[in-house]
Structure 1
Amino acid sequence: MESSSSGRVELPAAFEEAHIDHLVLLIADMLNRLMTHNDRIPLSPESLTRFHSRSAPNISVLDYLKRIVRFTNVEKSCLLITLHYIDQICARTPIFTLSSLTCHRFIIAAITVSSKGLCDSFCTNHLYAKVGGISVTELNILEREFLATIDWRLMCTREVLQEYYINLVRTHSTGQFVIAGADSSPSNSSDSDIDMESGQSRPPSPEIPTRPQPGTIPQEVAQRATVEQNMAFAALQQSEDFKGRKGRDG
């Protein structure tokens, strides 16, 4: 990892080689944007799920992820696949939204099941519950609910995780990170934009927009934004902003 003269931080091309602290920053940034979108939705009784807390936890998503990494030695693939699980559940359960009331409990449930499904060694539910700030009984219930909701589809390909990683870097809210050796110009990201919007590498979310207007959040995205939608929208907005600046400068 190196810092360029422009102040950007260069990350490895492959997610496996990235430092886990950088992955945590990238994922937390995306989840915070997702929560900001979904917290605008009025909460109705029929939209309540097992993942809802009575009030938003005092700990930030970033600090929560850092705590999990510190005490559970979670693997990088388990962190990234959490984003895939979000898209899966949003597609399968339309009433679910990742918000400040659901994010933390969703994360600890996702880490628990992914670690058991993907890793040779993992922690006990007692430790996951203690780190997550909930009881073992509650985590057991969340785990069963989580598995049922995703239909026990715990796996995805390495290519899917890599795509999430690339797009997390590209759409980070500060533009701080860049893939080493890659052209970071927004105007050269159209092919990846198309992939994200069409969902060619994985089933697309049913409400993903095709061409939202720059600078606005489409109603369907504001109502139920998924990780994939946020990435596609952020990439499109970044590309349109770059073209606008180029036109003014030319």
Structure 2
Amino acid sequence: MSEELPLDFAQVPMDILVILIADMLDRLMAHNDLIPLLPESLTRFHSRTAPSISVLDYLRRIVRYTNVEKSCLLLTLHYIDQICARMPRFTLSSLTCHRFIIASITVSSKGLCDTFCTNNLYAKVGGISVSELNVLEREFLDKIDWRIMCTRDLLQEYYVNLVRTHTSGKYYVIGTQSSVGSASDDGDEMDTTQSRPPTPAVGSAILIDLNRPVEVKPTIEQNMAFAALQELDKD
């Protein structure tokens, strides 16, 4: 059964927005998890193993304990496009998604909201240490070149795209003819090109990094981290 959603993202129920974002991130991770992990692809957002909590439950936990605003949740998608444009080797995968999300919420809430939580709380909710979150926050801001804002119109585009491409195909925005898109036809509609800052195309992060640069060599730190991951896999 189809479900009608408000035209304005600010009016959509919070849990529905969380469901829409989690669905998009799950599809992105499923694609990127198929890309072999190389030493030069490692970033500070990589964890040794994929967290056991799902992205949907993780987002719901953040919403419950931090009272995050809807615009900050949608900004996570914009930040993905920004970082993917500046770091062609970065992919949002099961190893990077959770840390990326908590860093994104921390940055956007501090930059855009009148009230926000302390890093101690964000870290606790995100399941990492506060020192680790501090490092991720600095890395995050550096990678997006401190461009923490975007237009409301762009956030609205992200919202509409989430509804249009949701796996179930049951959602549609008021004023449209019917629900559009399902998991079977998403691939034909999503933009597979890399985004260009500061206003990337909506959905451009869905199929990223298909043509990897071949001349960039891993740093010593990346080689050491990659070796540690391999040893962990052996265990």
Question: Which interval holds the TM-score relative to the shorter structure?
Answer: 0.7 to 0.9
Decide whether aligned partners of structure 1 residues 183 and 109 sit closer, same or farther in structure 2, where only a CA change above 3 A counts. same
Decide whether aligned partners of structure 1 residues 72 and 48 sit closer, same or farther in structure 2, where only a CA change above 3 A counts. same
Structure 1 residues without counterparts, runs of 5 or longer = 1-6, 188-192, 210-216, 225-250
**Do the aligned residues in 1 keep the contact of 2:68 with 2:109 (CA within 8 Å)?**
yes
In the alignment, is residue 223 of structure 1 matched against residue 217 of structure 2? Answer: no
Structure 1 ranges of 4+ moved more than 2 A = 184-187, 193-205, 220-224
Q: Secondary structure at the match of 1:223?
A: coil
Structure 2 residues without counterparts, runs of 5 or longer = 182-188, 212-235
**Do the aligned residues in 2 keep the contact of 1:195 with 1:201 (CA within 8 Å)?**
no
- Cα deviation 1:33-53 (Å, max 9, x = unaligned): 000010001111111000000
The structure with the greater share of residues assigned to helix is 1
How far apart, CA to CA, are the structure 1 residues paired with 2:210 and 2:157? 25
**1:181 Cα deviation (Å)?**
2.4
- Cα deviation 1:173-221 (Å, max 9, x = unaligned): 110211122223659xxxxx7999897996447xx69xxxxxxx9xx75
How far apart, CA to CA, are the structure 2 residues paired with 1:196 and 1:47? 20
- Cα deviation 1:89-116 (Å, max 9, x = unaligned): 0000111100000000000000000000
Decide whether aligned partners of structure 1 residues 194 and 58 sit closer, same or farther in structure 2, where only a CA change above 3 A counts. closer
In the alignment, is residue 56 of structure 1 matched against residue 43 of structure 2? Answer: no
In the alignment, is residue 127 of structure 1 matched against residue 121 of structure 2? Answer: yes
Identical positions, percent: 69
How far apart, CA to CA, are the structure 2 residues paired with 1:198 and 1:43? 19
Decide whether aligned partners of structure 1 residues 35 and 49 sit closer, same or farther in structure 2, where only a CA change above 3 A counts. same
How far apart, CA to CA, are the structure 2 residues paired with 1:196 and 1:166? 18
In the alignment, is residue 70 of structure 1 matched against residue 57 of structure 2? Answer: no
Aligned length in residues: 202
Decide whether aligned partners of structure 1 residues 127 and 185 sit closer, same or farther in structure 2, where only a CA change above 3 A counts. closer
Counterpart code for 1:53: S
**Do the aligned residues in 1 keep the contact of 2:2 with 2:179 (CA within 8 Å)?**
no
How far apart, CA to CA, are the structure 2 residues paired with 1:183 and 1:196? 26
Please show how residues 199-214 of structure 1 align to structure 2 within 5 Å: 203-204=199-200
Identify the match of residue 146 of structure 1 among 97, 117, 140.
140
Counterpart code for 1:115: S
